[in-house]
Amino acid sequence: MKKQIIAAAVAASVSAVALADVAITGQMKVNYTHTDYDSSAVNDSDVFKREGDIYVKGQSGDTGVVMNFSVADHTTADSTKNGTLTVEDTYMTTKVGDVSLKVGQWDNGNNEMRASSRAAGKFEASTTVAGIGVKYENVNGGDDAVSLSASMGPVAASFKQKNAGEDYTITGNFQGVDAKYAVIGSDSANSDKSYTEVKTTVAGVSVKYGKAEADSSACLNGDTWLGDYEDDNYLCGHGVGDGTSKSYVWANMNGQDITGYELATDLAGNKVTYRNVTVDGVTGGDTSHNKVIVTRPLASGATFELTYTDVQDDAETITDYNSLDLELAVKF
Q: What is the pLDDT of residues 165-203, one digit of tens each?
A: 999 999 999 999 999 999 999 999 999 999 999 999 999
Closest among 138, 139, 176, 183 to 158, alpha carbons compared? 183
Taking the model in full, what pTM does it have? Answer: 0.83
Q: Which residue has the higher pLDDT, 215 or 39?
A: 215
Per-residue confidence band for 301, with pLDDT thresholds at 50, 70 and 90: very high
pLDDT at residue 43 is higher than 90? no
- In angstroms, the CA 294 to CA 301 distance is 17
Least confident of 100-114, 199-213, 242-256: 242-256
pLDDT at residue 227 is higher than 70? no
Q: pLDDT over 70 for what percent of the chain? A: 80
Task: Write the CA distances from 153 to 128, 141, 177, 273, integer angstroms.
Answer: 18, 37, 14, 31
Q: Write out the CATH class of domain 21-331.
A: mainly beta
Q: What is the pLDDT of residue 224?
A: 67
Q: What is the pLDDT of residue 229?
A: 45
pLDDT at residue 260 is higher than 50? yes
Q: Which residue has the higher pLDDT, 169 or 234?
A: 169
- In angstroms, the CA 232 to CA 246 distance is 11
- Mean pLDDT value of segment 200-222: 91
Q: Is 141 left (phi over 0), alpha (psi -120 to 50) or beta?
A: left
Least confident of 64-73, 109-118, 253-262, 314-323: 314-323
- In angstroms, the CA 167 to CA 161 distance is 7
Query: 238 and 209 in contact (C-beta within 8 Å)?
Result: no
- In angstroms, the CA 332 to CA 29 distance is 12
- In angstroms, the CA 257 to CA 103 distance is 36
- Mean pLDDT value of segment 255-264: 90
Domain boundaries, the chain: 21-331
Rounded to the nearest angstrom, the gap between the alpha carbon of residue 228 and the centroid of all alpha carbons in its chain is: 9
pLDDT at residue 16 is higher than 80? no
Per-residue confidence band for 113, with pLDDT thresholds at 50, 70 and 90: confident
Highest mean pLDDT among 7-11, 18-22, 52-56, 237-241: 52-56
Q: Which residue has the higher pLDDT, 177 or 317?
A: 177
pLDDT at residue 114 is higher than 90? no
